[in-house]
Chain A
Amino acid sequence: MIEADINALIEGILRSDRRSIARAISYAEGANREIKKEMLALLYNHTGRSQVVGITGPPGIGKSTLIGNVASLMSDMGYNVAILAIDASSPYTGGSLLGNRIRMQEALNEKKIFMRSLANRGARGGLSESSIGSTAILDAAGFDIVFVETVGAGQADLDVMDLADTTILVLGPGLGDQVQAIKAGIMEIADLFVINKMDRDDSYFAMKDIEDTLAMDDARPFTRKVVGTTVKDMESYRGLIDLIKLHGEYLKESGKIGEKRFRMGIQWMIEDELRNRIIEPIMSKIPANSRNKNYYSIIESIGEFFSETMQEIKEDKII
């Protein structure tokens, strides 16, 4: 890609042109690492304004519908909202049915909300590799709120906490099993909790369970909260919106907006660089049947090769 094109693309993103944004996300998803890095490097100067709201929770709990309704209401309130939703790819064929969109299609149509589906392409942790770049693009495009819906395939979608400014865990009545299913630790990462399907009789107990857990929070700078929602009452979403706003204000005051994302982006670039310049070239030299040889010496020499640089980093001479 030539310089002029990428500049035109950046310029399009900055004036929030939908096609530029959509195309840029395709680059973030694509195989061309050079374009990806160049684009993201140029965009990072314009990021750090959006509140990225990660939504995670077990499958079938109604995350997409919830996001659709919340996004629609926030859009009415004057917020400029965008949505990223991650679907699982088949590990066998690489194919994916991107089904999240259809669950929120109505809201998207009415409010002209920007929404993009991303296949996770085998990435673990409930996100796709491209979600880092994609949030940066949407941030730079000036969206106030960017919702990121994780795969929610039952495993712990823990990575979302590193990407999102605000992490919301959506649960439903019959909570005990769900927390079991998504494993311990996830309660720790969430900033806000939602009990969806509040119209069900047993939801009260789920609320109570969470409240009891939160009561044991010690000395967190932000007091975590739980709220109930139901599709049967649009007003029920306003409570959640208030909490999202509250957390947003806390982040702004404490200067934490975009902090984690920035780190994650840098980390991704470092890892990408290492993988492409060191790990993959080395691995390509190692035959499939490698049991007979001792490659540990290579590891040793890599370590030695970098020792000088690492020393300088430790002594703060580089960063």
Chain B
Amino acid sequence: MAEEQNYYHTKLEEIKGRFNEREDKSLKRWRDTTLEQWEKISNPVYGDYENSSGIKIKDLYTENDLPSDIQEISGFPGEYPFTRGVYPNMYRGKLWTMRMFSGFGSPEDTNERLKYLISHGETGLSIAFDMPTLYAYDCDNKKAVGEIGKCGVNVTTLKDMEVIFDGIDLSKVTTSMTINAPAHVLTAMYFAIAQKQGLDLNSVGGTVQADILKEYIAQKEWIYPPEAHLRIIRDMMTFCTDHARKWNYISISGYHIREAGASAVQELAFTLADGFYYVEMGKKAGLDVDKFAPRLSFFFNSSINFFEEIAKMRAARRIWATVLKEKFGAKNPRTMMLRFHTQTSGYSLTWQQPLNNIIRTTVEAMAAILGGTQSLHTNSYDEAMALPTEDAVKIALRTQQILAEETGIADTVDPLGGSYYMEWLTNKMEEEAMKYFDKIESMGGILEAVKSGYIQREIAATSYRRQKRLEDGKEVMVGVNRHVEDNEKPLNILRIGKEAEERQINRLKAVKSGRDEDSVRKALNDLRNAFLDENKNIMPYVIEAVKSYATIEEISNVGREIYGGWKEPVIV
């Protein structure tokens, strides 16, 4: 471990050393004459210019702020260390994927929506689940009352997934599922349907989020203690590497970390630290880093501080490539490429004057594009209140289309590369992230840092600090603490009724009365035995269990009995 700590520490010194503070005589002359005279005439009122990460922004950047060897440090697009983009021609060859995620109400509602999207040429499906599914509770659990179908579609048994994908050929689509703690169960259900359709799992493409570390950090949707979930991820990793080569079994997510109140630097640092952990885990499981790591992809937030977001994404690529190569011994450039999906920030949206959110989302989408994202979800203007209405979703999609097709933003690769400010900020973000890696290593790694609550407390402190800055007017949200309007008209928002809940509970009853209880018991028992044997892979047993129509909660209870639950450390 001392050796590892050395790595980030040495790297930090190296990054700091890139800035050699030369004395710039012409800048000094400018300050002493032109600027000073102007200030005398204009009496400026200066604010405190600071980004979300607390980095102080200078009044002017010059050549002097560029790292000494910018060309070498940045590299060319499509080449190590990928600062300027993972592909040589970026969007000139192929635009980013406009992936809008959806899913609500009952499986029938979602099936209808998916078929509608497919009939309009969409092949990349994306599904959101409701809270009970995310926590692996059945739809008839007491805790689930009032929550069915509210934030996404409910899935309790394989039967629900069969309804969702009824009439959809899984060899013709890829499906992204936003699911974490029970990702293995949903993956198993998807695989079970593919097998029923007679498909080889190696031909099935899709993504589950399955990033459990960020759950403990931010989204707080877990079932077991970290070690149990990490074992499950290990099993998914090895199972998919061997049997489902096109399945992205993890999407390492900064989005939720940011939404939980983190700064851009914290999002960058904690997400990549999670990523490094998964790489280490794969290596420990005996996998070749160049074989499994290319399947790892990322999911970032794009928030409202335009340049900071772009710098964050550029820095992320550079850090990932460098660390994968230098620390984890990757040889294949593909392994070093950080590919990512972006979603614009939900937290930056306001329920006051909601149409303003369209502008915010536009700026955030531009940052994601200039930051070199591979796919993008733009939020709808009514999302501060509820799930989006169809009209609002359409504007969000049109926003991307206007940016892509009208503005010329995608005409050249990394248009901000070489900007004094952008390159300085990219370096600064990298430096600040490296400080966190160094600190986290000294605490015994990210898992320990999360279990002790350190990461969560860092985020809570940032988010409280930001709230204070808003209250003090040091930061502005239009419509919230400046340019406030009274008597705003309420929006029409999407409401999810009780029907989904009734429908789900009735279906579950029918499934339970129709299934063979003996095979359910046997499947769950086999799964238990697999769990108890560290050397076994649980995935085949999870697939058998879902096929027996065991429920998501029954399957998860097997692990609950063995590992117990997990109690969060005290954060505040």
Mark A residues whose CB is within 8 Å of B. 97, 99, 102-103, 106
Inter-chain contact B572/A99, CB cutoff 8 Å: yes
Inter-chain contact A106/B567, CB cutoff 8 Å: yes
In the assembled complex, the Cα of A43 lies from the Cα of B505 at a distance in Å of 53
The residues of B that contact A102 with a CB separation of less than 8 Å are 570
The residue in chain B whose Cβ has the minimal distance to the Cβ of A97 is B572
B interface, over-half SS: loop
The residues of A that contact B570 with a CB separation of less than 8 Å are 99, 102-103
B 530-572 binary contact with A (CB < 8 Å = 1; else 0): 0000000000000000000000000000000000000100101
In the assembled complex, the Cα of A99 lies from the Cα of B570 at a distance in Å of 7
Mark B residues whose CB is within 8 Å of A. 567, 570, 572
Q: How far is the CB of B143 from chain A (nearest CB, A)?
A: 13
Q: How far is the CB of B414 from chain A (nearest CB, A)?
A: 46
In the assembled complex, the Cα of A102 lies from the Cα of B567 at a distance in Å of 9
The residues of A that contact B572 with a CB separation of less than 8 Å are 97, 99
**6 nearest interchain CB pairs?**
A99-B570, A97-B572, A102-B570, A103-B570, A106-B567, A99-B572
Q: How far is the CB of B563 from chain A (nearest CB, A)?
A: 13
**Most chain B CB within a 10 A radius of its CB, from A97, A99, A102, A106:** A102
The residues of B that contact A97 with a CB separation of less than 8 Å are 572
A interface, over-half SS: helix
Q: How far is the CB of A119 from chain B (nearest CB, A)?
A: 15
6 contacts between A and B (CB under 8 A): A97-B572, A99-B570, A99-B572, A102-B570, A103-B570, A106-B567
The residue in chain B whose Cβ has the minimal distance to the Cβ of A103 is B570
Q: How far is the CB of B429 from chain A (nearest CB, A)?
A: 32
Q: How far is the CB of B216 from chain A (nearest CB, A)?
A: 16
In the assembled complex, the Cα of A299 lies from the Cα of B570 at a distance in Å of 49
In the assembled complex, the Cα of A97 lies from the Cα of B570 at a distance in Å of 11
Q: How far is the CB of B63 from chain A (nearest CB, A)?
A: 48
The residues of A that contact B567 with a CB separation of less than 8 Å are 106
In the assembled complex, the Cα of A97 lies from the Cα of B464 at a distance in Å of 15
In the assembled complex, the Cα of A106 lies from the Cα of B568 at a distance in Å of 11
Q: How far is the CB of B569 from chain A (nearest CB, A)?
A: 9
In the assembled complex, the Cα of A97 lies from the Cα of B572 at a distance in Å of 7
In the assembled complex, the Cα of A268 lies from the Cα of B348 at a distance in Å of 54
Q: How far is the CB of B437 from chain A (nearest CB, A)?
A: 24
The residue in chain B whose Cβ has the minimal distance to the Cβ of A105 is B567
The residue in chain A whose Cβ has the minimal distance to the Cβ of B452 is A60
The residues of B that contact A106 with a CB separation of less than 8 Å are 567
Q: How far is the CB of B461 from chain A (nearest CB, A)?
A: 13
The residues of B that contact A99 with a CB separation of less than 8 Å are 570, 572
In the assembled complex, the Cα of A99 lies from the Cα of B572 at a distance in Å of 7
In the assembled complex, the Cα of A102 lies from the Cα of B572 at a distance in Å of 10
In the assembled complex, the Cα of A106 lies from the Cα of B566 at a distance in Å of 11
In the assembled complex, the Cα of A117 lies from the Cα of B567 at a distance in Å of 19
In the assembled complex, the Cα of A106 lies from the Cα of B565 at a distance in Å of 11
The residue in chain A whose Cβ has the minimal distance to the Cβ of B569 is A103
Q: How far is the CB of A108 from chain B (nearest CB, A)?
A: 12
Q: How far is the CB of A280 from chain B (nearest CB, A)?
A: 36
In the assembled complex, the Cα of A304 lies from the Cα of B567 at a distance in Å of 61
In the assembled complex, the Cα of A170 lies from the Cα of B425 at a distance in Å of 48
In the assembled complex, the Cα of A224 lies from the Cα of B123 at a distance in Å of 73
In the assembled complex, the Cα of A99 lies from the Cα of B567 at a distance in Å of 14
In the assembled complex, the Cα of A103 lies from the Cα of B570 at a distance in Å of 7
Q: How far is the CB of A109 from chain B (nearest CB, A)?
A: 12
In the assembled complex, the Cα of A102 lies from the Cα of B570 at a distance in Å of 7
The residue in chain B whose Cβ has the minimal distance to the Cβ of A100 is B570
Q: How far is the CB of B443 from chain A (nearest CB, A)?
A: 14
Q: How far is the CB of A15 from chain B (nearest CB, A)?
A: 31
The residue in chain B whose Cβ has the minimal distance to the Cβ of A102 is B570
Q: How far is the CB of A310 from chain B (nearest CB, A)?
A: 50
In the assembled complex, the Cα of A103 lies from the Cα of B572 at a distance in Å of 12
Q: How far is the CB of B314 from chain A (nearest CB, A)?
A: 39
In the assembled complex, the Cα of A93 lies from the Cα of B196 at a distance in Å of 64
Q: How far is the CB of B130 from chain A (nearest CB, A)?
A: 25
Q: How far is the CB of B516 from chain A (nearest CB, A)?
A: 34
In the assembled complex, the Cα of A208 lies from the Cα of B567 at a distance in Å of 32
The residue in chain A whose Cβ has the minimal distance to the Cβ of B567 is A106
Q: How far is the CB of A201 from chain B (nearest CB, A)?
A: 15
In the assembled complex, the Cα of A132 lies from the Cα of B570 at a distance in Å of 27
Q: How far is the CB of B144 from chain A (nearest CB, A)?
A: 19
In the assembled complex, the Cα of A106 lies from the Cα of B567 at a distance in Å of 9
In the assembled complex, the Cα of A297 lies from the Cα of B567 at a distance in Å of 61
The residue in chain B whose Cβ has the minimal distance to the Cβ of A60 is B452
The residue in chain A whose Cβ has the minimal distance to the Cβ of B568 is A102
Q: How far is the CB of B454 from chain A (nearest CB, A)?
A: 12
In the assembled complex, the Cα of A78 lies from the Cα of B570 at a distance in Å of 30
In the assembled complex, the Cα of A97 lies from the Cα of B567 at a distance in Å of 18
In the assembled complex, the Cα of A102 lies from the Cα of B453 at a distance in Å of 14
In the assembled complex, the Cα of A54 lies from the Cα of B340 at a distance in Å of 54
In the assembled complex, the Cα of A102 lies from the Cα of B568 at a distance in Å of 9
In the assembled complex, the Cα of A126 lies from the Cα of B29 at a distance in Å of 61
Q: How far is the CB of B562 from chain A (nearest CB, A)?
A: 15
Q: How far is the CB of B457 from chain A (nearest CB, A)?
A: 12
In the assembled complex, the Cα of A315 lies from the Cα of B567 at a distance in Å of 60
In the assembled complex, the Cα of A103 lies from the Cα of B453 at a distance in Å of 13
In the assembled complex, the Cα of A97 lies from the Cα of B460 at a distance in Å of 14
The residues of B that contact A103 with a CB separation of less than 8 Å are 570
Q: How far is the CB of B273 from chain A (nearest CB, A)?
A: 23
In the assembled complex, the Cα of A99 lies from the Cα of B568 at a distance in Å of 12
The residue in chain A whose Cβ has the minimal distance to the Cβ of B565 is A106
Q: How far is the CB of B120 from chain A (nearest CB, A)?
A: 49
The residue in chain B whose Cβ has the minimal distance to the Cβ of A101 is B570
Q: How far is the CB of B467 from chain A (nearest CB, A)?
A: 16
Q: How far is the CB of B282 from chain A (nearest CB, A)?
A: 27
Q: How far is the CB of A91 from chain B (nearest CB, A)?
A: 19
Q: How far is the CB of A85 from chain B (nearest CB, A)?
A: 12
Q: How far is the CB of B38 from chain A (nearest CB, A)?
A: 43
Q: How far is the CB of A294 from chain B (nearest CB, A)?
A: 48
Q: How far is the CB of B352 from chain A (nearest CB, A)?
A: 29
Q: How far is the CB of A234 from chain B (nearest CB, A)?
A: 11
In the assembled complex, the Cα of A57 lies from the Cα of B252 at a distance in Å of 40
In the assembled complex, the Cα of A103 lies from the Cα of B569 at a distance in Å of 8
Q: How far is the CB of B223 from chain A (nearest CB, A)?
A: 15
Q: How far is the CB of B86 from chain A (nearest CB, A)?
A: 43
The residue in chain B whose Cβ has the minimal distance to the Cβ of A104 is B567
In the assembled complex, the Cα of A106 lies from the Cα of B564 at a distance in Å of 12
Q: How far is the CB of B515 from chain A (nearest CB, A)?
A: 32
